[in-house]
Structure 1
C-alpha cells in the first residue's frame, strides 16, 4: 500500500499549527514538546556518558539499571522517544547522579 504525503512540516516548524490548533495553543504545545525533548536529551546524555566513563558493556549497564541490553542500546543510540523522563531519571539515579529542576518565569 502506497501513501501520498500531502504536507511536510519544515524543520523548526510547528506541527501543531499544521494540525489546525490555534496559534496560541500550537505555541504552548510546541514549547511543551521542545521542553520534554531537551530534558530527555540531557538525561540520556548524562547516563550514556556515565556508561562510557565507567567503561561498561551494555550488558553490565543493563544489570545496573535493571533493564535489558537492547534497552541500553536504545539509550546510547539516542532513541529517546522510547523512554519516559521517569525511566531516564531512574537510570540517572542508579549512576549516583542527581537531577535538579529549575523553573524560569
Structure 2
C-alpha cells in the first residue's frame, strides 16, 4: 500500500543563500560573489577559452580558473572578481534597493 505524503512548498526569495539560512550580511555577500562568478564563467565560455587560456588572460593559474568555473565561492572576494571583470572590459553596475516589506 502506498502512503500519501504531502510536500510543503514555499516560494523562495531572490537570494538562495538567505533561503538556506545564512545571516543577512553573509547571504548578501555570497549572492554578489555568485552572480559575479557566473558572469565571469559566461564570459570565458563565450570566448571559447580553455582554462589555461583564461588563466593567461586574467593573470591567474589554471587551478584558480577551475575554482571559478566550479563555483567555489569561498575562494574569491568581491574585490578580486570585480578586478577580473574589469580586465575583461566588463562594466559592473551596483544597484541598491530598499528592502521590500
TM-score, normalising length: structure 1: 0.71
SS in 1 for 2:41: helix
Partner of 1:23: none
How far residue 47 of structure 1 moved from its aligned partner, in angstroms, is: 0.4
Q: Which residue among 37, 40, 55 is the counterpart of 2:48?
A: 55
How far residue 99 of structure 1 moved from its aligned partner, in angstroms, is: 1.0
| Structure 2 unmatched ranges of 5 or more | 1-18
- Residues 1:72 and 2:65 aligned together: yes
Aligned ranges 1:86-101 → 2 under 5 Å:
86-101=79-94
Count of equivalent residues:
80
How far residue 79 of structure 1 moved from its aligned partner, in angstroms, is: 0.3
Partner of 2:28: 35
Distance 1:12 1:93 in 2: 31
- Residues 1:12 and 2:20 aligned together: yes
Moved over 3 A (4+): none
| Structure 1 unmatched ranges of 5 or more | 1-10, 15-29
